[in-house]
Amino acid sequence: MVDISALGADSITVEPFADFLMSSGDLAWVSGVDPGIVAYDEAMSTVFEVEAGRIASALEFGHGFIWAAEAPDFVRPTTLLRIDPATGKTKRFKLPSPGVPSESSLAVTAEAVWAIIQPKSEGGEWTVVGVDPQSGERVERFPVGTEEVAAVRGGFGSLWITRPTGLLARIDAVSGEKTEIRLPFGSTFLSVGADSVWVMNSLGSVTRVDPGTESIVATLSVSPEGINGGDIAASADAVWVQPAAFLGVEIDPSTNSVVQRVGPAEGSGSVTITDDGAVWITAHDADKLYRIPPG
């Protein structure tokens, strides 16, 4: 265990509920902060404040924009919110009802921005819907079965979808062709790195998947206590997990090993890595936002 103060980290109080994080390169965007989503620079100063309804799923960045699934009525997340990171200006597109499930995510591929749409009734069909990033027009829809979907990200020409039962589905973003890879039970959030897909699960481990061979490269125990909520972010040089039992856990992708576990634990939250190599962590139970400077 490494105390976060030993890493030269800075922190600020953010309210009412510092939740999901996403990097747009030089800025870190945080949902759940009044008035909705707030962007911070390397000095942890506020750059943009975006008014938004309830944001209950992970943010995404792609096609030059920050993306969020918004519930304007604070109930149904049926709006895709697009934020220009250069100006803070927003545009909203309609998503199919009943909208994006809480504690899930969005995805970006070269073709579209993608959202998971939950079924209208129990036992119904889950789908992923692709939206044109400029017009907001629906360009594609893929059915993904009646089994619950946890999260989705885009990379290597595909959509990668996790299921709590431990299946990772790879869907070609053009043809819709699907393959499946068996992962540990409780698979949830995932992140696409330079050459791998990294998937965390509620049992407390992270699995590295090679997209070329569609095989598991390594499975690493990051939190023996399990992962409650949390998040994962991968860059070319590091993978960070926010597992709730620790503020953060760093994985070295060059050795497939845990480098350090950072504390003290302050409940669940999110993590992202900006282009300068700084690591940003939220702890929403403590209303805190941390920035670990590049090492």
Encode pLDDT of 226-247 as tens digits. Answer: 999 999 999 999 999 999 999 9
Structure tokens at 63: 């096609």
Contact 237, 195 (CB under 8 A): no
Mean pLDDT of 277-289: 97
**Could you tell me the pLDDT band of residue 110, with boundaries at 50, 70 and 90?**
very high
Domain range enclosing 108 = 2-292
Supply the pLDDT for residue 126.
Answer: 98
Split into its structural domains, the chain has a count of: 1
Supply the pLDDT for residue 111.
Answer: 94
**Could you tell me the pLDDT band of residue 295, with boundaries at 50, 70 and 90?**
confident
* 106 CB-near residues (< 8 Å, 6+ apart): 57, 58, 59, 60, 67, 68, 69, 80, 100, 113, 114, 115, 152
Beta bridge partners of residue 171, listed in sequence order: 159, 178
Residue 22 pLDDT more than 90?
Answer: yes
* CA–CA gap between residue 235 and residue 233 (Å, rounded): 7
Q: What is the CATH number of the domain that holds 157?
A: 2.130.10.10
Mean pLDDT of 44-59: 97
The chain-wide mean pLDDT, for the chain, equals 97
**Could you tell me the pLDDT band of residue 75, with boundaries at 50, 70 and 90?**
confident
Structure tokens at 100: 């994006």
* 92 CB-near residues (< 8 Å, 6+ apart): 70, 79, 80, 81, 82
DSSP state of 24: -
Supply the pLDDT for residue 11.
Answer: 98
Mean pLDDT of 99-112: 97
Over the range 45-74, which residues count as b (16 or more CB within 10 Å of their CB) and which as e?
Answer: eeebebebbbbbbbbbbbeebbbbbbbeee
Mean pLDDT of 260-267: 96
